[in-house]
Structure 1
Amino acid sequence: MSDREGLIFRSDYLGDTAAWRALAGLLEDTFDIDVTIMDRLGGPDPTTVPFGWFDETGACIANISAFSMPLVINGAFVRAAGLQSGAVRPSHRGRGLYRNVMEAAIDHCDAEGVEAILLLTDTPDLYGRYGFRTLAQHHFTGPAPTGGTAGQVRRLDMANDADITLLRRLLKARRPVSDRFAPLRQLEMFLFNASLMPDLRLDLIEENTVIAWQAGLDGSLDLMDIVGAQIPSLADIVASLKIEAASVTVRFAPDHLAWDGEAVLDEGEMALMLRSAKDLRPEHPFALPPMAEF
């Protein structure tokens, strides 16, 4: 096509340092996010397969990346993938480049036997043509439970390499935080998101479970995620963190917390969208944990 003269289509190029830096440049220019901080955290997800157009100078013009994201949905394992890092430089929009990389990524996922593909977007209308549909997400609120058993707690520091190593080990062996809907694997995105959230607190309970949380303006507990082979009750979490909170907000389905909160529909800017051959919509209110957002 004449409007693609001088451009080169590439895929699976994360192993090329120059191409990775070029992709990082596209994402920083588009979203003002420096993804190269992942280098210090152990590197990008090794399952990632990017699809992109590059110009003759080596600049990344358009990209979408697919990565493995196995899920639990309604208590069953689902072989799923996520799409992220979707962008096109303004100078090259309207030429079909994004449609091309999207179709290449979807074809790749289908060829790999992926049952479902997820993406997060603030422009959901753009993806209906590719078979994606929006899933409603909820957060859960209610009184803070009492009577829990406190465990020993230590605060982790994302600037400490030893703490990052510990987090990586726990993330590799974690239990899904919910049976309604949750990733089985989210190591790289958890670390990346944690590095971007200055108000996030990562508290290690009994050296085997990490609680990712924030404090509300009223002193309430805002629970973002839990990393561990076992999920403690919310009462034990509150007791361990020594929080005198009247209320709790949980940002994922609380079916493992021995606590019931009111499900409140989220109306944020970002929509979670799913493409699948069969209806995999969760049967009960749920949310993708913020630490797994991509």
Structure 2
Amino acid sequence: MSSKDIDRSGLTFRRDYFDDLKAWQALVDLLKDTFDIDIGPLQQMGRPDPSSMPFGWFAADGRLAANLSAFAMPLVINGRTVNAAAFQSGAVRPPWRGLGLYRDLTQKALAWCEEKGFEAIVLYTDKPALYEPYGFRSLSLHAYSGNAPVASKAQLPARHLDPLTKTDLELLRAALKTREPVSDVLAVRESAAMFVINTQLDPSVRISWLRREQAAVAWKMEAPGHFRLLDVVGADIPSLATIIAALDIDAGVVDVLFCPDKLGWSGQAQPLESYTHLMIRAPRAIAFDRPAMLSPMADF
């Protein structure tokens, strides 16, 4: 079914609507109803990524029937900066499924990316077969696990950051603007909005500020002695031993959810167990120099 064959009765196509608060709320409602994900706090935490371009079909009552959004997401892959875009917030409400709306939005988003000159597009999905006809291919992702390094007592213990408070949010956003990619194998260069909203989507995520290193750390404790490092945001990446010392935690086992090439530590790469796939559309096949994954704080 081509876009011209879609039954648009009662529907209106719109793009670039994030400045319309009613339309934005319609997207918030769509994602809440479809995935039980609440992106509403993003408006109070710096707003959506300024490069975002949403594409949507709206019903006469203001509901968003179908949506797909694209935004710029520069990546580092094998040491090279890749001018990449990302697709997110793809959903169709049940009454309008099977009409070809999502196919139409995908084609519009792909055309926009081509117009903007992006060299690659990435997305997360639990339905990879849906995107394979458009040239997307799944990437093999790995986390790292191993024993914690020996950590001495930190001179300046880390403090907790609450991104919902103004001063902590400003500190975090300033660090995100000047961050070094957390890995040279696979990492985001920017994507501040995704990091900020991801601090709110998982209540178990902790954000700590390492005062001497001027770096923010996203982390969890999976169980007593089991430390999980999700991301590090700073102009320089501190070592894993420094991070554990600053957090002042008892860590015996460590999981690092990105390639730890800058942490002064090497664990064992383990295939990532996830129902979602990271997919990429690029002119050439992508193979990482080492096993890697994108930090969960870059999830989109």
Is the shorter-chain TM-score for this pair beyond 0.5, marking a shared fold?
A: yes
Deviates more, 1:27-36 or 1:252-261: 27-36
Residue 151 of structure 1: CA displacement? 4.5
Partner of 2:154: 150
Amino acid at match of 2:271: L
Counterpart check, 1:133 vs 2:145: no
| Change in 2 beyond 3 A, CA 1:212/1:2 | closer
Residue 251 of structure 1: CA displacement? 0.3
Residue 212 of structure 1: CA displacement? 0.8
Counterpart check, 1:87 vs 2:73: no
Deviates more, 1:218-227 or 1:251-260: 218-227
Percent of counterpart pairs with the same letter?
47
Any idea what SS the aligned residue of 1:249 has? strand
Any residues of structure 2 matched to 1:82-121 within 5 Å, and which?
82-121=86-125
Partner of 2:164: 159
| Change in 2 beyond 3 A, CA 1:147/1:33 | closer
Residue 202 of structure 1: CA displacement? 1.1
| Change in 2 beyond 3 A, CA 1:248/1:49 | same
Partner of 1:58: 62
Partner of 2:255: 249
Any idea what SS the aligned residue of 2:223 has? coil
Deviates more, 1:84-93 or 1:32-41: 32-41
Query: d(CA) in 2 for partners of 1:148 and 1:283?
Result: 32
Which structure 1 segments of 5+ residues have no match?
Answer: none
Partner of 1:192: 197
> Is the contact between residue 149 and residue 235 of structure 1 (CA under 8 Å) also seen in structure 2?
no
Any idea what SS the aligned residue of 1:216 has? strand
Amino acid at match of 1:291: M
Of 182, 185, 198 in structure 2, the residue corresponding to residue 180 of structure 1 is 185
Query: d(CA) in 1 for partners of 2:96 and 2:226?
Result: 46
Residue 55 of structure 1: CA displacement? 1.6
Amino acid at match of 1:100: D
> Is the contact between residue 151 and residue 205 of structure 1 (CA under 8 Å) also seen in structure 2?
no
Query: d(CA) in 2 for partners of 1:57 and 1:198?
Result: 34
Amino acid at match of 2:82: V
Query: d(CA) in 1 for partners of 2:193 and 2:151?
Result: 35
Any idea what SS the aligned residue of 1:38 has? helix
Any idea what SS the aligned residue of 2:111 has? helix
Query: d(CA) in 2 for partners of 1:55 and 1:248?
Result: 48
Partner of 2:175: 170
> Is the contact between residue 38 and residue 201 of structure 2 (CA under 8 Å) also seen in structure 1?
no
Any idea what SS the aligned residue of 1:81 has? strand
Q: Paired residues, what number?
A: 294
> Is the contact between residue 151 and residue 244 of structure 2 (CA under 8 Å) also seen in structure 1?
no
Residue 2 of structure 1: CA displacement? 6.4
Query: d(CA) in 2 for partners of 1:150 and 1:105?
Result: 48
| Change in 2 beyond 3 A, CA 1:2/1:110 | closer
CA RMSD, 1 decimal = 1.3
Residue 221 of structure 1: CA displacement? 1.1
